[in-house]
């Protein structure tokens, strides 16, 4: 089954908590703090795998979470880092933010991409020892990981795209010029999935050709199969526009070209402007009647397109078409890659992220900065409470309380801690 769109949730690991520990050894009266740091949480990493050609693996599994880092231990032992979670995708997959649709990364190269970085581990109490605070009874917690809802969108990496109505010979042509073996039959929509083939010209010279399922009128608005697969010719540098020169199915090939190009324009103006070669296929069915071919040649010249006459079934003109295609590709820029658009929201917590409000007879202090502070405080330890008091004072919390009219003896709530205010 060919799947080219998938929505998943990725979660990187939380950093391990720092350890509160003191050195205990026989004959040593006061060993001091020796709590180790927590390990880093695992990151979520995307890597291109050329053995994959579909996003089928993501059809059933929707959540990918990297492991957390281990907590710190005594004897200054650091917790083990969480292993990175590597997600393998086909080359050409776009990673998008589900909420905005913006491109996070075009996964078209061989470099691994860290999409969600693991949280840093917290410091053990060893880091908080000072000449005046020799036995700190608090440590820092690990930082949380990142959570992101993303869309995976596969856009094939091909130099040349074969476009045209169903049953005009696209699959036959691909099978003649490459090792690809698409399903071929004499009925519409034989090709249900995009097929890729490598066309070799000579030593070290080749290009990738994509056979796209037949496009019909209304495809850009969702009709037929074309709507699902128009994205796969987005990157193509050159389009080979195949038509049935003999009109064997009763259609006018020129009207077919106009209809297909209208669908391309409806999907993407840049795609409609892509260089094209008008390929008159099934010329062997015309016999000695050259008029239909010459009519198509004149139509191509009017529109500034190159023209080729072939019979994919008998291999007539195919070699000349491939040489023409190779020559055109040598003049065109490389396959297009998308630049990142997504700018992640800054989650850095600062002292500005503090709220102070009066609820009934209580002054309630909250905010992200305060939550982080309280998570690192041991309220049963005097020195830890002193550390909290200095941090709140330096952050301007007490000044804010006084501006709001707090009086001595008023109740203040911060996290799970409730105390009376004292000047």
**276 pLDDT higher than 70:** yes
Q: Is residue 307 part of a domain?
A: yes
- pLDDT-derived band at 237, boundaries 50, 70, 90: very high
User: Would you state the pLDDT for residue 225?
Assistant: 46
Residue whose C-alpha is closest to residue 410's, from 397, 402, 420, 401:
420
Same domain? For 306 and 320 the reply is: yes
- Number of independent structural domains in the chain: 3
* Same domain membership, residue 305 and residue 166: yes
- Of 2 and 99, the structure prediction assigns the larger pLDDT to 99
* Residue 305 forms part of a structural domain: yes
| 44: pLDDT strictly greater than 90 | yes
Which CATH number does the domain housing residue 380 bear?
Answer: 3.30.300.350
Task: Give the model's pLDDT for residue 158.
Answer: 86
Average pLDDT on 335-349 reads: 72
**Is 365's pLDDT higher than 70?**
yes
**Choice among 127-136, 236-245, 332-341 with the minimum mean pLDDT:** 127-136
Confidence of residue 3 (pLDDT cuts 50, 70, 90): confident
302 and 363, same domain (yes or no): no
Residue 64, pLDDT > 90, answer yes
Among 113-122, 216-225, 405-414, name the one with the lowest average pLDDT.
216-225
Q: Report the C-alpha gap between 404 and 224 in whole angstroms.
A: 66
The yes-or-no verdict on residue 415 having pLDDT over 80 is no
Token code pair at residue 88: 């393998």
Q: Is the pLDDT of residue 143 over 80?
A: yes
Together in a domain, 224 and 364: no
**Confidence label for 53 from pLDDT (cuts 50, 70 and 90):** confident
User: Quick one: residue 119, left, alpha or beta (phi over 0 = left, psi -120 to 50 = alpha)?
Assistant: beta
What pLDDT sits at residue 193?
67
Please tell me whether residues 169 and 234 are part of one structural domain.
yes
**CA–CA distance from 58 to each of 6, 8, 88, 94, 146 (Å)?**
6, 7, 10, 14, 20
Mean pLDDT of 200-217: 79
The answer to which of 9-18, 189-198, 223-232, 271-280 has the lowest mean pLDDT is 223-232
- Is the full-model pTM beyond 0.85? no
| Same domain flag for 282 and 408 | no
Q: Are 284 and 314 in contact (CB under 8 A)?
A: yes
**Under the phi-then-psi rule, with left for phi > 0, alpha for psi from -120 to 50, and beta for the rest, what region is 185?**
beta
CB 218 within 8 A of CB 205: no
Assess if residue 350 is contained within a domain: no
- Check residue 382 and give its pLDDT: 72
Q: Which whole number is the average pLDDT over 384-406?
A: 85
**Lowest mean per-residue pLDDT among 21-30, 75-84, 397-406:** 21-30
| Maximum average pLDDT range among 125-139, 165-179, 310-324, 331-345 | 310-324
Share the mean pLDDT of the chain: 84
Tell me phi and psi for residue 233, to 5 degrees: -110, 5
349 domain residue, yes or no: no
pLDDT at residue 315 above 60? yes
Question: Is the per-residue pLDDT at 30 higher than 90?
Answer: no
State whether 165 and 313 are in the same domain.
Answer: yes
Contact 21, 125 (CB under 8 A): yes
pLDDT at 28: 64
Would you state the pLDDT for residue 224? 46
Say if residue 226's pLDDT is above 60.
Answer: no
Domain match, 176 and 307 both: yes
Whether the per-residue pLDDT at 223 is higher than 50: the answer is no
Question: What's the average model confidence in pLDDT over 8-33?
Answer: 84
Band (323; pLDDT cuts 50, 70, 90): very high
Q: What is the pLDDT of residue 388?
A: 83
CATH number of the CATH domain containing 264: 3.40.50.300
On whether both 377 and 229 belong to a single domain, the answer is no
Same domain flag for 288 and 270: yes
Query: Once rounded to an integer, what is the mean pLDDT over residues 173-193?
Result: 66
Rounded to 5 degrees, what angle do the CA atoms 397, 399, 403 make? 115
Which pair of tokens denotes residue 193?
């999935």
In terms of Cα–Cα distance, which of 49, 47, 97, 42 is closest to 66? Answer: 42
Cα gap 17→20, rounded to integer Å: 10
Looking at the domain assignment, is residue 346 inside a domain? no
Q: Is the domain of 257 the same as that of 290?
A: yes
User: Lowest mean pLDDT: which of 283-292, 306-315, 365-374?
Assistant: 365-374
When pLDDT is averaged across residues 64-91 and rounded to a whole number, the result is 94
Task: Give residue 147's pLDDT.
Answer: 92
**Residue 131 belongs to a domain with what CATH number?**
2.70.210.12
What residues make up the domain containing 235?
160-331
Residue 295 pLDDT > 70: yes
Band of residue 13 on the pLDDT scale cut at 50, 70, 90: very high
In a domain, 336, yes or no: no
The percent of residues in the chain predicted with pLDDT above 70, rounded, is: 88
pLDDT at 271: 84
Residues 370 and 284 grouped into a single domain? no
Mean pLDDT computed over 213-225: 53
pLDDT for the residue numbered 220: 47
Looking at residue 319, what is its pLDDT? 93
The answer to whether position 343 is within a domain reads no
pLDDT band at 11; cut points 50, 70, 90: very high
């Amino acid at each position: 089954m060919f799947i080219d769109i998938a929505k998943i949730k990725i979660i990187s690991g939380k950093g391990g908590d720092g350890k509160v520990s003191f050195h205990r050894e026989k004959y040593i009266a006061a060993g001091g703090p020796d709590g180790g740091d927590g390990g880093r949480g695992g990151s979520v990493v995307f890597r291109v795998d050329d053995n994959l050609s579909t996003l089928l693996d993501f059809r059933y599994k929707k959540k990918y979470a990297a492991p957390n880092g281990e907590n710190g231990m005594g004897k200054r032992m650091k917790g083990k880092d969480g292993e990175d979670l590597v997600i393998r995708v086909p080359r050409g997959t776009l990673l998008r933010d589900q909420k905005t649709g913006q491109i996070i990364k075009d996964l078209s190269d061989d470099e691994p991409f860290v999409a969600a970085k693991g949280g840093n581990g917290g410091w053990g109490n060893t880091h908080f020892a000072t000449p005046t605070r020799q036995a700190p009874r608090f440590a820092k917690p690990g930082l949380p990981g990142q959570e992101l809802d993303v869309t995976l969108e596969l856009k094939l990496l091909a130099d040349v795209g074969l476009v045209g109505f169903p049953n005009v010979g696209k699959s036959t042509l691909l099978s003649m010029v490459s090792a690809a073996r698409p399903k071929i039959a004499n009925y519409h929509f034989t090709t249900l999935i995009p097929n890729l083939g490598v066309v070799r010209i000579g030593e070290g010279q080749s290009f990738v050709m994509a056979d796209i399922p037949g496009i019909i009128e209304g495809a850009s608005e969702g009709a037929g199969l074309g709507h699902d697969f128009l994205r796969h010719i987005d990157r193509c540098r050159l389009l080979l526009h195949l038509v049935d020169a003999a009109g064997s199915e009763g259609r006018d090939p020129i009207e077919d070209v106009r209809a297909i190009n209208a669908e391309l324009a409806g999907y993407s103006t840049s795609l409609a402007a892509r260089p094209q070669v008008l390929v008159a296929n099934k010329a062997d069915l015309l016999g000695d009647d050259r008029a239909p071919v010459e009519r198509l040649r004149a139509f191509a010249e009017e529109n500034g397109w190159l023209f080729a006459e072939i019979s994919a079934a008998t291999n007539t003109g195919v070699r000349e078409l491939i040489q023409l295609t190779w020559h055109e590709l040598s003049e065109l820029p490389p396959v297009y890659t998308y630049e990142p658009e997504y700018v992640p929201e800054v989650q850095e917590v600062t002292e500005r992220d503090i709220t102070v409000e009066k609820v009934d007879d209580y002054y309630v202090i909250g905010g992200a900065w305060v939550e982080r502070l309280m998570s690192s405080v041991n309220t049963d330890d005097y020195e830890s409470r002193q550390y909290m008091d200095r941090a709140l004072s330096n952050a301007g919390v007490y000044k804010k309380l006084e501006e709001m009219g707090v009086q001595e003896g008023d109740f203040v709530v911060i996290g799970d801690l409730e105390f009376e205010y004292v000047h």
